[in-house]
Amino acid sequence: MEVITTIADLRRRLRDERQVACVPTMGNIHAGHLRLVAEAHDHAPCVVTTVFVNPLQFNQPADFTSYPRTFEDDCAKLEAAGVHVVFHPTEGQIYPEAQVFIVEPPPIANKLEGRFRPGHFRGMTTVVLKLLNIVQPQVAVFGKKDFQQLHIVRHMVQQLALPVQIVAVETLRAPDGLALSSRNRFLSAEQRLEATRLYRALSDLKAAIEAGDRNFAAMEFAADASLARYGWQVDYVALRRPLTLTAPEPGDREFVGLGAARLGETRLIDNMEIFAAQPVGNP
């Protein structure tokens, strides 16, 4: 495995590769990322993982500073997973000067996560576009854990006619259901036990919809209240259409439940896709 830190060296290394699959990350590699890498191997003989903590997508400077940076450990895991190249640029490589050309995502970027993290998706799409331009992969792999991110990246790739196929990978969960995330390491032992409640709240929404309940507002409210009762500070629990992230409409059979809430200082997000047997009545 090669670790490359400059754009020029990366371009030289990849010049003769015909099929490259890229897994963009911010490091702190865990089993969820390794699942993305495994998927990447199915799509190309050359797998590149980018490890770059992107300052542009953090709306809280403290979040950026405290983001876990574990590069040596990351490299050991990525090497064991058969990654061919790790691209680990400095901030100066990606932003040699103040970034004034910014991707402006559509209004959905100001809803759900975007409502609580202003500017996050502008920063995320800007760096993803840059990374795709730098690596020029045929395939890029993203996790469904960040469902809204995946939606926005797919839309950007389609609207800007980027020559890359976006592949989505299911969320990897601990045996008790907690979605794997770099932030889980901040949970105390007691909070770790409590943390599955978000997953369970989404599972309850799924069960209710599958049982024919179509009172979306009441279901969202109940999920929110059930978390708040156990000390969570809830940002949102929302049922949406999976392809547009807009509110469900009569006749829909496919939904996604999305949630974000803070347990102590740790903000967790999760989502669950739902396929209902019966169409929606009157929401």
Q: Which residues are known catalytic residues?
A: 33
Q: Does 49 bind ligand PAF (CB under 6 A)?
A: no
Beta carbons of 22 and 139 less than 8 angstroms apart:
yes
Size of the site for ligand PAF (CB under 6 A): 10
Residue 74 CA, chain-centre distance (Å), reads 18
Backbone angles phi, psi at 224, to 5 degrees: -55, -50
Q: Does 181 bind ligand PAF (CB under 6 A)?
A: no
Residue among 25 and 171 whose Cβ is closer to ligand PAF: 25
Q: Does 25 bind ligand PAF (CB under 6 A)?
A: yes
Residue among 75 and 124 whose Cβ is closer to ligand PAF: 124
Residue among 26 and 169 whose Cβ is closer to ligand PAF: 26
Nearest CA among 84, 72, 87 for reference residue 40: 84
Residue among 142 and 232 whose Cβ is closer to ligand PAF: 142
The two tokens of residue 137 are: 């992969």
Q: Does 57 bind ligand PAF (CB under 6 A)?
A: yes
Q: Select from 18-26, 227-235, 240-248, 252-260 the region that touches ligand PAF (CB under 6 A).
A: 18-26
String of b and e for 179-216 (b: at least 16 CB within 10 Å)? bbbbbbebbeeebbebbbbbbebbbbbbebbeeeebeb
CA distances (Å), origin 121, targets 19, 59, 169, 237, 270: 28, 10, 20, 19, 17
Q: Which of 28, 49, 54, 271 binds ligand PAF (CB under 6 A)?
A: 54
Q: Does 26 bind ligand PAF (CB under 6 A)?
A: yes
In angstroms, the CA 261 to CA 173 distance is 17
Q: Does 114 bind ligand PAF (CB under 6 A)?
A: no
Query: Which residue is nearest to ligand PAF, using beta carbons?
Result: 24
In the three-class reduction of DSSP (H, G, I as helix; E, B as strand; rest coil), residue 83 is classed as coil
> In whole angstroms, how close is the CB of 2 to ligand PAF at the nearest point?
20
Q: Does 166 bind ligand PAF (CB under 6 A)?
A: no
Contacts of 6 (CB under 8 A, 6+ apart): 89, 93
Beta carbons of 195 and 187 less than 8 angstroms apart:
yes
Q: How many CB atoms are closer than 10 A to CB 70?
A: 16
> In whole angstroms, how close is the CB of 127 to ligand PAF at the nearest point?
5
Interaction mask 200-239, ligand PAF, x per CB under 6 A = ----------------------------------------
Residues lying near ligand PAF in the complex (CB under 6 A) are found at 24-26, 54, 57, 124, 127-128, 146, 149
